[in-house]
A and B are shown apart, each in its own frame.
Chain A
Amino acid sequence: MSYIFFARWFGLVSVLLALGVLFNLGDARRMARHLVKDESGYIMAGVLPIIFGSLSFMHNHSFNQGWELAVSLIGLFMVFAGVYRVLFVNHWKKIMSRHVDKIPPLFSLFGLMLGLLLLYIGFFSTIVYYGGAA
């Protein structure tokens, strides 16, 4: 799985999920409130980022300057976020409960930003990139 593949796939997933939440904010808020009361929801919110983040980071861990670095950092961040959610469930739960109404629009905003960045990396940055001297 190259960083291009990850960027295309995860970019598309992020944008679709973000748009889905954005145009169904009422349902997303109900789901978030339900998630706050459910222990397994917290675990899932930690397990999924660990799986996808570690897969991404195992395949792309370049720290050279460029878009590869961005993809490496996204993978690493997902792993750390997942580990935090799994290890510190109560702390995570407290934060979620405090901001439960703000989470869907914020999820949508960051999902859109992340998705658009990844789509650019996956589909456009390779076209404009020149790998020669200089």
Chain B
Amino acid sequence: MLHRSFKTASKLLLIASFLFLCGCENNFTGVLNPKGVVAFKERQLLFDCIALMLIVVIPVIIMSFAFAFRYRQSHPVKDYKPNWSHSVLLESIWWGVPCVIILILGILTWKMTHKLDPYRPIDGAGKPMKVQVVALPWKWLFIYPEQNIATVNTLVLPVNKQTEFFLTSDNVPMSAFFVPQIGSQIYTMAGMRTRLHLLPTSEGIYEGLNSQYNGDGFSEMHFKVKVVSQDEMKKWFAKAKRSSKSLSQATYRVVRQPTIADPAALYSGVAPGLFKQIIKSYHAPTHP
């Protein structure tokens, strides 16, 4: 009686456990909840690769149970061959199928990796807006060279418009710029310039972060990414230009000093050639 109740309770618990999945639909975060073209494509590649691998994994799991069930001790069958060891046909199938899947995975990943190359502009997305990014200890400086404005720890982007990022770091060896919901991660290195193209497709506020450990303030090196309409973007540029602070050489020398959890800041006017100067400061002077 007790055994039967236990079995019934186990079955009910198993069924009830599926209820936990109900909450999953709206709670996808990060790369699983993309809001940009690149992130969408990356999620698609991730799911397609998992599906291709599961083609082998799921049948193997199901067959493990089916064979255990068929050849159980209480169910004698004629085709039970405990000493059977080799079949050319079966060997070629269970080696051949995974080989074909790996080949398809390889082609798929190769093509998509080149298509989503961070340096490559997004096809058919028009002329990009330019943003220069400087990873500092432990904050992010964003310079809009075309608008001559800059921000700290806040990035504002227009929706459905491509943005081209030029990235470097200063006063901190290496960081990684990553907005999981919008697209690829890319490293920033002192004395070097990396590039990234992103195209957000939904308005909203997203989390940006540094995914490369770089010292004491690493865990606080987050920033907000506001994706707004084209009209709001223009209004924001106008607001930024009215800011009383400007990013002169002297201000930059203060900003580059190590601080943790800096509040967002807005600068109208940026010292000319600041981004290039930051990169060049790590290069040895050339002698004639």
Contact = CB atoms under 8 A, between A and B. Distances in A.
Interface in B26-61: 34, 37-38, 40-41, 43-44, 47-48, 51-52, 54-56, 58-59
Given A23-B69, A109-B59, A124-B51, A134 B79 contact: no
Given A120-B51, A129-B44, A134-B123, A112 B62 contact: yes
A65 B218 CA distance: 41
Interface in B218-247: none
A19 interface: yes
Label chain A's interface by main secondary structure: helix
Contacts of B205: none
A1 interface: no
A132 B40 contact: yes
B66 interface: yes
A32 B97 CA distance: 24
A97 interface: no
B199 A22 contact: no
Interface stretch (A37-45, A76-84, A85-93, A99-107): A99-107
Nearest to B34: A130
A106 B59 contact: no
Contacts, number: 77
Given A102-B87, A116-B54, A116-B55, A134 B48 contact: no
* Chain A: number of interface residues, binned into ranges: 20 to 34
Given A117-B51, A120-B54, 20 more contacts: A22-B62, A23-B69, A25-B70, A26-B79, A102-B87, A108-B63, A109-B59, A109-B93, A113-B59, A113-B97, A116-B51, A117-B52, A124-B51, A128-B47, A130-B40, A130-B44, A133-B37, A133-B125, A134-B122, A134-B125
Interface of B: 34, 37-38, 40-41, 43-44, 47-48, 51-52, 54-56, 58-59, 62-63, 66, 69-70, 77, 79, 87, 89-90, 93, 97, 111, 115-116, 122-125, 199, 201
26 contacts: A25-B70, A26-B77, A29-B79, A65-B111, A101-B79, A102-B87, A102-B89, A102-B90, A112-B58, A112-B62, A113-B59, A116-B58, A117-B52, A117-B55, A120-B51, A120-B54, A128-B43, A128-B44, A130-B37, A130-B40, A133-B37, A134-B37, A134-B41, A134-B116, A134-B124, A134-B199
Interface of A: 19, 22-23, 25-26, 29, 65, 99, 101-102, 106, 108-109, 112-113, 116-117, 120, 124-125, 128-130, 132-134
